[in-house]
Amino acid sequence: MRLRLRRSMVRTVTLVTALALPLAFTVPASATTATTTSPGVTDVLANVFATQIKGKNIKKHLDKFQEIATANGGNRAAGTPGYDASLAYVQDKLRKAGYKTSTTDVEFPLGWEEASPSVLQQTAPEAKTYANPADFVTVVSSSGGDVTAQVQVVDAVIPPTPTPSSTAGCEASDFAGFVPGRIALIQRGTCPFIDKATNAKAAGAAGVIFFNEGQPGRTDPLLFDIIEWRFGFPIVMASTAVGLDLADSPNTTVRLKVDAETTVGRTKNLIADTRWGKSGEIVAVGAHLDGVPEGAGINDNASGSAAVLETALKLAHVPTKHKVRFAWWGAEELGLLGSDQYVAGLSQAEKDKIRLYLNFDMIASPNDGTFLYDGDDSDAEGAPAGPAGSPEIEKRLEAFYAKRSLPFEGTDFTGRSDYGAFIANGIPAGGIFTGAEGIKTPEQAAKFGGTAGVAYDPCYHAACDGIDNINAAALERNSKAVGYATAFFAYDLTGIPDRNAVTARSAARTAAAHEGAAR
């Protein structure tokens, strides 16, 4: 009798919750304000929704991802049957829940090979051939090409010894005055090489020569993999001495030749939008679905993928004010390629519709800490604050943990996960991270528990990142936080800039100005 009564009570509570959420969040036809519920009310209801996200259900998804990896060579890496089966599993779950899903193509380099050694020659003001590899090396994944053009130094007055930690080429504005068709000469520095090369391409460069910065131990050519092979021009890395030599004259002309070919592989991103919500106001929620070839990738990042999946399944039949776009990214482990290519493929109007992006990458590390992306740069260290709206995301997640008396810390936007492309396009971002190869400090062990002096995830990018490489308590509480944040922003975007409206107002002002000029 008691058991039956309890089951009845459970069914009743579940039914009431299922009915209360859509009724509470339904937007009246007459609504004209930014939100129809106060943030306080939305917070209460989002917390109710979070209770529907159960760790045991997340674990079932993780078991399936492990099963998939085991049946497919032990991994779920992009471009492998294990990844394809993982995508099919998530897609099947979504379709059964009523979602219409879509995929977008992702390209990645399978292999890269030089047919012959690259050439770097100065043709003016004097003839000089630089030695390969003593003076320069080819950047791995560089496109092929044979270019003779004038060199232009980017954003630097080159001193006798290059400036350490140069920011040259890190911003599009660094290329102001760059003459299209020239070869960009860019000093090594603080931002990723790929950012510098991307900005060079946008400025119309015909090739790129990076050079080392002259610090002790950093003067020789540096062999590295820039990942992005689709620039369409040759890229090499020169020594400090060669860089200074090429920068010595304003009229230096060089021949830059790379004879190389990249073998391209293909995989997919998976996208699913909620049926309800304004299509012009999108809350994007994502996690990368692929792992590394070394293992099953259960913490990194089946954990985030499973939490996003379970959130999507529970939200499937709840009317939302704003459209929620769930995304499972491919080829993240190969250089954030899935999210980068997805965002790059959107028109500016489509980018402006995305009000914010929530990223969940590694949310159940065995020796975990609870790290929230530092949207406001409150620690004043490392990476700067995220785009406007990012502090509001951080504060919302902080509220979730604070309500439960759970500790948390900020963590920088280091560019190591899929929020990168969104931030680069001015879209506010935030999310949760429980640590990778970093070492837990004694202070963090006192705060979060676990073991000081040990990595947050000792199996990071290793074969042992399997089903046993999960902190169940972290998985439970952080998955609920995923559900909470998603539900909250699905109904309340207070404090999140409406870039679509700003663009529309700017266009209207421009049109009005043109009309006035025509008169």
Active-site positions?
332
Distances (CA, A) of 26 to 31, 292, 492: 10, 42, 12
Q: Other CB atoms closer than 10 Å to residue 7's CB: what's the count?
A: 10
User: Is the bond into 125 cis (omega within 30 degrees of 0)?
Assistant: yes
- CA dist., res. 495 & res. 198, Å (int): 31
- CA dist., res. 226 & res. 262, Å (int): 13
How far from the centroid of its chain's Cα atoms is residue 318's Cα?
27
Alpha carbon distance, N-terminus to C-terminus of the chain: 84
**List of residues 6+ apart from 251 with CB closer than 8 A:** 124, 125, 150
- CA dist., res. 58 & res. 51, Å (int): 13
One DSSP character per residue, 439-473 reads BPPHHHHHHH-S-TTSBS-TTTTSTT-STTS--HH
- CA dist., res. 366 & res. 451, Å (int): 10
Length of the chain: 519
Q: Are 221 and 140 in contact (CB under 8 A)?
A: no
